[in-house]
Structure 1
Amino acid sequence: MEFGDKIKELRTSHQLTQETVAIRLNVTRQAVSNWENNRNLPDLELLILIASIFHISLDELILGGSNVNNMTEKLIKDSSKTRRAKLNLMTTLVGTFLLFFGFACLFIKANSVEYIDKSGFLRENFYLLPIGFLFILAGMIVFLVTGFNFLIHTIRKKN
């Protein structure tokens, strides 16, 4: 059973109008009509309110039996989007840290003093150059891979 059919069945079995359900949920009557006609779906907070108004479990409301319906697909899709957004945020933060650390190494190298000690050895922190460039390269790779992944996902989503 589709989610819209489930909502309509629950509403009519409790002898409520769309307007009454809308007032109880603090939404418009058109929103309830759109749900019943499967044009769009309510968010999670409204699902909890709907389940409490009609005295049914969320499982019964969302799953509507044993079949996967539009609501279940929406919840799975939203969960996937949230996971992807968190992953993109984390990789962006890692890339930013790598770039910042690389530029910090180059800045320290540029502003450090080089000198020759009493025994004639040149003292400089040359090691900061390759380390800085390595971190900058790693940060750029992280950003490129994240951007490429986002681009592929966007193209797949359009098709």
Structure 2
Amino acid sequence: MEFGDKIKELRTKNQLTQEKFAIRLNVTRQAVSNWENDRNLPDLEMLILISSIFYISLDDLILGGNNVNNMTEKLIKDGSQIRQAKLNMVTTLIGAFLLFFGFACFFIKANSVEYVDASGILHENFYLLPIGFLFIFAGMVVFLVTGIKFLIAIIRKKTA
């Protein structure tokens, strides 16, 4: 059973009009109508309120039996999008930190003092140059891979 059919069945079984049901949920009658006609779906907080009004478990309300309905698909899709957004944010932060550390290595190298000690040995922190290049390269790779994955996701979304 689709989510809209489930809401309509529960509402009519409890002898509520769309208007009365909307008042109890503090939404408009049009919102209830959109839910029942599967044009729109309520958010999670609204689902919890609906389940408490009708004394029905969230499993029964969302899943509506053994078949996957449009509400279940929406929740799965929303969860997937949230995970993808978090992954993009984390990889962007990692790339930014890598770039920052790379440029910090160059800055330290440029502002450090090179000297020759009493025994004639040159003291220079040359190692900062390859480390800086490594950090910058790694940061660019992270940004490039994240950007390509994001573009692929947008293209797939447009073609679907």
TM-score by length of 1: 0.98
- Per the TM alignment, residue 152 of structure 1 is displaced from its structure 2 partner at its CA by 0.4
- Per the TM alignment, residue 118 of structure 1 is displaced from its structure 2 partner at its CA by 1.4
Match status 1:124 vs 2:119: no
Following the alignment from structure 1 to structure 2, what is the Cα–Cα distance between the partners of residues 136 and 28?
53
Q: Which residue of 2 aligns with 1:4?
A: 4
Q: Which residue of 2 aligns with 1:156?
A: 156
Report Cα offsets for 1:45-66 as digits up to 9, x if no partner: 0000001111111000001110
Match status 1:84 vs 2:89: no
- Per the TM alignment, residue 135 of structure 1 is displaced from its structure 2 partner at its CA by 0.2
Q: Which residue of 1 aligns with 2:69?
A: 69
Q: Which residue of 1 aligns with 2:106?
A: 106
Following the alignment from structure 1 to structure 2, what is the Cα–Cα distance between the partners of residues 30 and 137?
54
2:113 counterpart SS class:
coil
User: Where does structure 2 lack aligned partners over 5 or more consecutive residues?
Assistant: none
- Percent identity reads 81
Report Cα offsets for 1:48-106 as digits up to 9, x if no partner: 00011111110000011100000000000010011111111110111111011111110
- Per the TM alignment, residue 131 of structure 1 is displaced from its structure 2 partner at its CA by 0.2
Amino acid at match of 1:56: I
Match status 1:35 vs 2:51: no
Amino acid at match of 2:122: L
Match status 1:146 vs 2:149: no
Amino acid at match of 1:90: V
TM-score by length of 2: 0.98
Following the alignment from structure 1 to structure 2, what is the Cα–Cα distance between the partners of residues 152 and 62?
31
Amino acid at match of 1:16: L
Amino acid at match of 1:112: S
- Per the TM alignment, residue 116 of structure 1 is displaced from its structure 2 partner at its CA by 1.2
Report Cα offsets for 1:108-151 as digits up to 9, x if no partner: 00000111111212111000000001001100100110000000
- Per the TM alignment, residue 36 of structure 1 is displaced from its structure 2 partner at its CA by 0.3
Amino acid at match of 1:113: V
Amino acid at match of 2:46: L
Amino acid at match of 2:75: L
